[in-house]
Amino acid sequence: MRLSDLVLPAALAFSLALPAAAETAEYRLVIKDHRFQPAELVIPAGQKVKLIVENQDPTPEEFESHPLNREKIIPGNSKATIYIGPLTPGRYPFFGEFNPKTATGHIVVK
């Protein structure tokens, strides 16, 4: 068996796997004036999603959700990436621990 007989199938398998990883749906949340915008985010059930959280405030805020088991501090004027799911249909609350009275929201999974 020649080396090229092994390399071509391996390269083909690798190239087919790349598009699957690139298909992760991306959603955005913005923190502004110590509030999450939008306060309700709808995502599909049964899929892993990429959540980009952009903090437009000059002070840090935290994205925290006990049901999602996620906790991430986002420094002022910066972004963070959080992967969630796959999830079952339902409502998953989240909040900002530094401003819990105003920085609240939920993810609705349908």
Domain-located, residue 81 = yes
Q: Looking at the predicted structure, is the pLDDT value of residue 22 above 90?
A: no
Which residue would you say has higher pLDDT here, 1 or 38?
Answer: 38
> What domain range is 38 assigned to?
24-109
**CATH for 66:** 2.60.40.420
Residue bearing tokens 């007989």: 5
Question: pLDDT tens, 36-78?
Answer: 999 999 999 999 999 999 999 999 999 999 999 999 999 999 9
Domain-located, residue 19 = no
**pLDDT at residue 23 in the model:** 79
**Based on the structure, what is the number of domains in the chain?**
1
- Identify the band that residue 17 occupies on the pLDDT scale cut at 50, 70 and 90: low
Q: Looking at the predicted structure, is the pLDDT value of residue 32 above 90?
A: yes
- Residues 71 and 73: their CA atoms lie apart, in Å, by 7
Domain-located, residue 5 = no
Which candidate, 19, 36, 22, 29, places its Cα nearest to that of 82? 29
Domain-located, residue 59 = yes
For residue 38, say if its preceding peptide bond is cis, omega within 30 degrees of 0: yes
The predicted model gives 74-102 an average pLDDT of 97
